[in-house]
Each structure stands twice: as structure tokens, then as C-alpha cells.
Amino acid sequence: MGTVKNVLNIGLLTVLTLAAALSTACLTVSEAGVPDIEQRATALNKSIMCPVCPGESIDQSQNSLSIQMRSIVRDKLGEGWTDRQIKDFLVERYGPSVLMEPPTSGFNLAAWVVPPVAFALAIAALLLTLKWMRMSAEAERQAEEDNARDRGDYVSRIEDALNSGDSSEATSERRADGLPGRNSQQ
């Protein structure tokens, strides 16, 4: 019984290994069979925005303008244009917003710099706020401890004065700080 189970396990492992190898081979052949111009066209189409479809590349959009732009990209690649030349051509016609990634120079550099700087400032503000809140809580706790200690000292002084046997008249003429009251003679 044990040998039959082992044979089945080995057979299953062999079938899974062959399936993985065949799927890898199919993927490799499918990429190798695509012409270089077609791969470049697909990459360019994914990096160019559709001017009329918000948030879609010309590769995703089914708008007639996107279809025309994909055709222009293929034609220009067939004529031997570089990717940069094609992007520059489309930017001339439709403006810099046609690029999925804004240029990293001039005013557009702000689109690359501002978000990380704003994120870092937000984190710093959060950390400072948390530190301030912790310090406020500590100061409040310390003030409560000081008040309790002062109150305890005051209560013990009153109890000492009451227990010392002084007359009520003499006690009333003394203030809490030990100085004579207003009824005492100076």
C-alpha cells in the first residue's frame, strides 16, 4: 500500500514539474515571437496619455483619437524614429500633459519633488504633535502631584495647629504662611 502511494506522489510531482516547464516555455516563446517594433509600440502606447480620456493611456483607451495616436506611433516607429522623437512629436501636438510621467525638469520638477517633501513634513508634524501631547500629559501629571503634595503640607500644618492646643483666637490671627493676621497687634 505504501509503494502505491509513493508511486502516485512521484507521478503527481512529475506532472506538476512538466506543467510548470511547459508554461514557462510558452511564455518565453510568446515574448520572443513579438517583433521589436511591436514591443516598443506597446511600451510607448502605455507611456502616452489619451488627451480626451482622463487617466487612461492610449494603450487602454478605445477612443478614436487614441486609435489614431497608436497608428501614428506604429508609423513613426516603422520610419525609424526613436522613442524620444515620437514623444516630442506628440508633446508638440497635444502638450506635455500627454505624457504619463511629467518631465523631470523646469516647473514640472515640482510634481516629483513636492509629494515626498510634503509627506516628510507631515510625518515631522505628526511626530512633533505626539511629542507635545506626551509632554503636556507629563506636565499635567506633575502639576497634579505638586498640588497634592502642597495640599498635604497645608493640611498637615492645619492639623498641627489644631492639635497643638492653641486657642482658637490665636489660630485665627495667624495666616497659613505663619505671618500675623489682621487682628494681631504689630
**Residue listed under C-alpha cell 524620444:** 84
Q: For 6-41, what is each residue's pLDDT tens digit?
A: 777 787 778 878 777 787 776 665 555 557 889 999
Among residues 144, 140, 120, which one has the least CA distance to residue 128?
Answer: 120
- Cell numbers standing for residue 148: 497634592
Domain ranges of the chain: 35-101, 111-172
Please list the residues that pair with 57 across neighbouring strands. 49
pTM for the model stands at: 0.44
Answer with the residue of higher pLDDT: 104 or 113.
113
Q: Residue-wise over 8-25: b if at least 16 C-beta within 10 A, else e?
A: eeeeeeeeeeeeeeeeee
Is the pLDDT assigned to residue 52 strictly greater than 60? yes
Are 117 and 109 within 8 A, CB to CB? no
Is the pLDDT assigned to residue 166 strictly greater than 80? no
CATH architecture of 35-101: Orthogonal Bundle (1.10)
Provide the mean pLDDT of the chain.
81
The number of beta carbons lying within 10 Å of the beta carbon of residue 49 is 22
Helix (H) or strand (E) holding 149: helix 109-163
Surface-to-core class of residue 48, CB atoms within 10 Å of its CB (0-12 exposed, 13-18 middle, 19+ buried): buried
Among residues 122, 40, 140, 47, which one has the least CA distance to residue 80?
Answer: 40
